[in-house]
Amino acid sequence: MSHIKQIPPSSFEFLRLLKNNNTRDWFNDHKTAYLQELAYIESFAQHLLDLMNNHDVIETPSGKKSLYRIYRDTRFSNDKTPYKIHWSGSFKRAGKQRRGGYYFHIEPGNSFVAGGFFGPSSQDLKLIRDNISFDAGPLREILNEETFISSFGTLKGDRLKTAPKGFDGDHQDIDLLKYKQFLLIHRFTDKEVLSKEFVGHCNLEFKHMRPFFDYMSEILTIDANGLDL
């Protein structure tokens, strides 16, 4: 089982059943099936991690450690269903000079990989905006690359409705300055997820994020004089 690199159809089937029977009683009755599918997802995540460590340095120690729990925190949510209806995990890049994170999400009809900056600190956000305001050229060059466009389309993430504090609403790069999150997303069909090439495709899309990550890492960790922040 530990050698399975491919996500089996049963992993989708379990999620479909869980979506229609999202109760603790049903889940407890199907705990054996859940543990079986979890083992497949752990194996997939480990293979993905092994591939990624060929082109990046990942702090996350194992595929198993990358996975998010399937149990939902319902304390502050209107949705009181106890379980998530997807498999997901994330990989953390090692060292403070390597910025940006990787995320994968597997769900029937809604599978994707994503990466970037989901909740940048106010300090990081200011550094990013100051750099864009000074010269957005290097970032636009990355966003206009053919590989970037074919992989991610456009930069995604929440944006302010008005200009951020301290910036002119008429600034030529106001479209970029309004971003509060900086996300790259690539979606997969169910057929793609269940194919044996899926783990390689996830790895490739993560690899395609690197020019963006390298740019962000530089502006977030090195000052104007080339010294570490």
Given this model, what pLDDT does residue 14 score?
98
pLDDT for 132 beyond 60: yes
pLDDT for 1 beyond 50: no
Given this model, what pLDDT does residue 130 score?
94
Beta bridge partners of 61: none
CATH of 9-221, one of 1.10.3470, 3.30.70, 3.30.930, 3.30.1600: 3.30.930
Tens digit of each residue's pLDDT (9 = 90 or more) over 54-105: 999 999 999 999 999 999 988 888 889 999 999 999 999 999 899 999 999 9
- pLDDT-derived band of residue 229, with 50, 70 and 90 as boundaries? low
Q: What is the dihedral angle through the alpha carbons of 90, 130, 132, 155, rounded to the nearest 10 degrees?
A: 30
How confident is the prediction for the chain on average, in pLDDT? Answer: 94
Q: Percentage of residues in the chain with pLDDT exceeding 90?
A: 89
Mean pLDDT value of segment 152-168: 96
Beta-carbon contacts of residue 54 (< 8 Å; ≥ 6 apart): none
Mean pLDDT value of segment 120-147: 96
Tens digit of each residue's pLDDT (9 = 90 or more) over 7-17: 999 999 999 99
Q: How far apart are CA 106 and CA 190, in angstroms?
A: 9
pLDDT for 222 beyond 60: yes
